[in-house]
């Protein structure tokens, strides 16, 4: 295992507060966990990419909310949009290349860990002079739209990448039909897959790599201690949805069910481009309530008092941390039987379903059977502490690094 502090460099397109989704939060959590344990951590991310994709109604990013020892390299240029566009079209860092080489090529790091490299440039993998890791936070290596969500309507089962990219409003990436991706990936010593499903899906969709793909689940912080009285935040029993209000997340399927299922309320926590459409869709149902964006303390309280949290994703998730956060609260999860949700829930802290009838059966079972609900919640909490804590993640992470360091020494 690791016996001394290491020097890490994380390379990612998005990083909080210049961030949109869960991948950046996962990177931030790992960076801070390492810094808290006295490892040196530097983070490279692309401010130009964030500003290019930032919607006009989004608030301006605040300050970094990180351990004070973390060093941040926010890449930006006077070219603005042109910089990420060059990278998107060529797979190269382009205008960011010189600065990236300065940071990565000096041999200053023990580990260079790439995360979402989509607008950093995949050829930057060759700049590192250290143990090189790549985490599959999404499916970008095999899908130019990142999420294997074909034509913005269904899970991808057969690649039609150029048509799908054009329909999604993005320029096709012709470099994907050359050997640049395979050549760049040869610089990676190991890939990390948060779920076995994501590992297998990359291989199914043609990812060709010589390095191992190692399954290491993500982690979430432990739940906060509850002090004093802890009343429910809602006056009647409820189920809860937490996530972005985008079609791929499946909230529309729950709204449709809860217009007919009237035995409990559905609370929806989150915002997104589908919010207005979903509110209109739910207008006739008094059992659907929209909470908007809620803070972490309130979200934990909502999870803690819910009958169950529902994860109805209609596209392929990678490793939805909502499951971990809910199970850490001792609350069961009901998940759509798709992607990694079966491996995360079945035999652990939840139920899976396919179709509205199975979902309603699961709702009724947990609403009416408190003993079953408590048993599933307890099993989920056990799964969290056994598999999804920071300590368990770092044990696996450092074990992988030690193995790779040993192999590099033997081959030197």
pLDDT truncated to tens, each residue of the chain (412 aa)? Answer: 666 999 999 999 999 999 988 899 999 999 999 999 999 999 999 999 999 998 887 788 999 999 999 999 999 988 989 999 999 999 999 999 999 999 998 779 999 999 999 999 999 999 999 999 999 999 999 999 999 999 888 999 888 899 999 988 899 999 999 999 999 999 999 999 999 999 999 999 999 999 999 999 999 999 998 887 889 999 999 999 999 999 999 999 999 999 999 999 999 999 999 999 999 999 989 999 999 999 999 999 999 999 999 999 999 999 999 999 999 999 999 999 999 999 999 999 999 999 999 999 999 999 999 999 999 999 999 999 999 999 999 999 999 999 999 988 776 5
**Whether residues 367 and 301 fall in one domain:** yes
Cis geometry, peptide bond prior to residue 17 (ω within 30 degrees of 0): yes
382/396 same-domain check: no
Looking at the structure of the chain, the number of domains it has is 2
Residues 50 and 94 in one domain: yes
Q: Is residue 231 part of a domain?
A: no
Residues 6 or more apart whose CB falls under 8 angstroms from that of 162 comprise 172
Tell me the two tokens of residue 161.
Answer: 């990448």
> Cβ distance 397 to 2 under 8 Å?
no
Query: What is the Cα–Cα distance from 379 to 309, expressed in whole angstroms?
Result: 15
Q: Are residues 260 and 212 in the same domain?
A: no
Residue 230 lies in a domain: no
> Which residues 6+ apart lie within 8 Å of 399 measured at CB?
1
Tokens of 49: 């990419």
Q: What pLDDT shows up at residue 405?
A: 94
6 close to 108: Cβ distance less than 8 angstroms: no
| Exposure on the CB side of residue 297, measured as CA atoms within 13 A | 4
pLDDT of residue 251: 97
Q: What CATH number does the domain containing 267 carry? A: 3.40.50.2000
pLDDT of residue 388: 97
Give the separation between CA 115 and CA 19, rounded to whole angstroms: 13
Assigned domain for 15 exists:
yes
Residue 229 in any domain: the answer is no
In this structure, are 258 and 278 located in the same domain? yes
Pairing of strands 238-242, 265-269: parallel
How far is Cα 381 from Cα 329, in angstroms, rounded to an integer? 7
**Whole-number pLDDT of residue 92:** 97
Residue 103 has what pLDDT? Answer: 96
Residues 195 and 266 in one domain: no
Question: Does a structural domain hold residue 143?
Answer: yes
Q: Which domain holds residue 302?
A: 238-387
Q: Establish if 232 belongs to a structural domain.
A: no
Decide if 163 is inside a domain: yes
What is the number of alpha carbons within 13 Å of residue 22 lying toward its C-beta?
21
Spatial contact of 230 and 301, defined as CB atoms under 8 Å apart: yes
- Is 163 found in the same domain as 57? yes
**Do 42 and 146 belong to one domain?**
yes
Whether 294 and 405 share a structural domain = no
* Domain co-membership, 26 together with 175: yes
Q: Per the domain annotation, does 360 fall within a domain?
A: yes
Query: Are both 142 and 256 inside the same structural domain?
Result: no
Cβ contact 64:32 at 8 Å: no
Whether the CB-CB separation of 29 and 65 falls below 8 Å is answered with: no
Beta bridge partners of 8: 41, 111
Here the tokens at position 354 are 């396919």
Question: Same domain for 402 and 356?
Answer: no
Helices then strands, each counted (H, E), the chain: 15, 15
Which pair of structure tokens corresponds to residue 395?
Answer: 């044990």
Distance (Å, rounded) from C-alpha 116 to C-alpha 135? 8
Say what the pLDDT of residue 411 is: 67
The candidate with the shortest Cα–Cα distance to 311, out of 359, 381, 256, is 359
Token pair listed for 362: 């699961």
């Amino acid at each position: 295992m690791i016996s001394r502090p290491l020097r890490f460099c994380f390379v990612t397109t998005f990083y909080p507060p210049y961030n949109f989704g869960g991948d950046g939060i996962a990177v931030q959590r790992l960076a801070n966990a390492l810094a808290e344990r006295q490892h040196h951590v530097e983070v490279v991310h692309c401010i130009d990419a964030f500003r290019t994709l930032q919607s006009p109604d989004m608030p301006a990013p605040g300050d970094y909310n990180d351990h004070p020892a973390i060093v941040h390299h926010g890449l930006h240029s006077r070219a603005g949009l042109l910089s990420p566009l060059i990278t998107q079209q060529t797979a190269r860092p382009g205008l960011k290349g010189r600065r990236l080489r300065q940071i990565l090529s000096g041999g200053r790091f023990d580990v260079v860990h790439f995360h979402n490299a989509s607008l950093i440039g995949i050829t930057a993998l060759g700049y590192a002079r250290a143990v090189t890791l790549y985490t599959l936070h999404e499916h970008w290596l095999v899908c130019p739209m990142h999420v294997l969500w074909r034509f913005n309507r269904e899970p991808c089962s057969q690649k039609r990448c150029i048509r799908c990219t054009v329909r999604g409003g993005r320029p096709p990436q012709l470099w994907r039909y050359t050997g640049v991706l395979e050549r760049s990936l040869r610089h990676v010593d190991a890939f990390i897959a948060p779920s076995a499903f994501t590992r297998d899906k990359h291989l199914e969709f043609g990812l060709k790599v010589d390095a191992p793909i190692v399954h290491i689940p993500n982690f979430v912080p432990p739940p906060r201690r509850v002090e004093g009285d802890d009343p429910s935040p809602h006056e009647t029993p409820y189920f809860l949805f937490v996530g972005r209000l985008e079609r791929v997340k499946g909230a529309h399927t729950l709204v449709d069910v809860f217009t007919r299922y009237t035995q409990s309320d559905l609370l929806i926590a989150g915002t997104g481009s589908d919010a207005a459409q979903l509110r209109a869709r739910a207008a006739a149902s008094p059992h659907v309530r929209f909470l908007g964006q809620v803070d972490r303390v309130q979200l934990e309280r909502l999870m803690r008092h819910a009958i169950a949290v529902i994860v109805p994703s209609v596209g392929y998730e990678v490793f939805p941390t909502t499951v971990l956060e809910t199970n850490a609260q001792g609350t069961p999860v009901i998940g759509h039987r798709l992607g990694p949700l079966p491996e995360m829930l079945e035999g652990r802290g939840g139920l899976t379903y396919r179709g509205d009838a199975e979902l309603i059966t699961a709702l009724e079972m947990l609403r009416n059977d408190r003993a079953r609900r408590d048993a599933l919640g307890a099993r989920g909490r056990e799964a969290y502490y056994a598999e999804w804590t920071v300590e368990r993640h770092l044990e696996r992470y450092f074990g992988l690094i030690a193995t790779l360091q040993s192999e590099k020494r033997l081959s030197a």
